């Protein structure tokens, strides 16, 4: 049974004295003094907050999974087009541009033929990314890490034509 905000927050307070009297959103510690037993504390006074917290945490997990799925779909679409800017009308609503990082481990694994030629010894062995970029710009571009950055305000303001 889904309860309204009023039922969860106002009625619970009336049913359970000392419940949810807050200072800046936190349950006031003086309200729960006297119900402590050793290292354990009765948190009944905070039940409505704990239940809402659990519901929100579950919703966040679902939303994060959904967001990851949608992000992956948009990323796949942008990769398939080969473009780096997504527009709706005149508004740039997202970019899919290279970041200033390089997928070194993946490069070593997938291009073991080139990796030894662009390995420089410093304190540890690393790919000489600058030399690789200059000698093989297409190969460098394949391993350049990209970041998908939506402009949520532009997306929400955009109107389908």
Per-residue pLDDT in tens (0 to 9) along the chain, 161 residues: 555 544 455 444 434 444 444 445 555 555 555 555 566 666 666 667 777 887 888 899 899 999 999 999 999 998 898 888 888 888 889 988 888 899 999 999 999 999 999 998 877 888 999 999 999 999 999 999 988 777 777 777 766 54
Q: Which residue range is the domain that position 115 belongs to?
A: 83-161
Please say whether the beta carbons of 98 and 148 come within 8 A: no
- Of the residues 82, 99, 134, which one is the last residue of a structural domain? 82
Shared domain check, 69 and 6: yes
- Of the residues 16, 50, 82, which one is the last residue of a structural domain? 82
How many beta carbons lie within 10 A of that of residue 45, not counting itself?
Answer: 22
Please say whether the beta carbons of 44 and 16 come within 8 A: yes
Shared domain check, 71 and 112: no
3-state secondary structure (DSSP) of residue 81: helix
Shared domain check, 63 and 132: no
Shared domain check, 103 and 78: no
Residue 19's φ and ψ, nearest 5 degrees, are: -85, 130
Shared domain check, 87 and 135: yes
Tally the domains of the chain. Answer: 2
Shared domain check, 38 and 2: yes
Shared domain check, 51 and 19: yes
Q: Is the pTM of this model over 0.85?
A: no
């Amino acid at each position: 049974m889904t309860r309204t905000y009023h039922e969860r927050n106002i009625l619970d307070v009336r049913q359970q004295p000392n419940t949810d009297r807050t200072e800046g959103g936190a349950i006031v510690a003086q309200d729960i003094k006297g119900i402590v037993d050793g290292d354990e504390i009765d948190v009944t006074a905070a039940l409505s907050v704990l239940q809402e917290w659990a519901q929100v945490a579950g919703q966040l997990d679902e939303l994060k999974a959904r967001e990851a799925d949608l992000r992956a779909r948009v990323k796949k679409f942008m990769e398939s087009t080969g473009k780096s800017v997504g527009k709706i009308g005149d508004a740039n609503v997202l970019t899919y541009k290279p970041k200033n990082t390089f997928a070194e481990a993946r490069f070593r694994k997938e291009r073991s033929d080139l990796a030894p030629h662009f390995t420089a010894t410093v304190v540890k062995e690393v790919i000489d990314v600058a030399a690789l970029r200059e000698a093989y710009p297409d190969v460098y571009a394949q391993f350049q890490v990209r970041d998908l950055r939506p402009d949520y305000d532009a997306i929400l303001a955009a109107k389908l034509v």
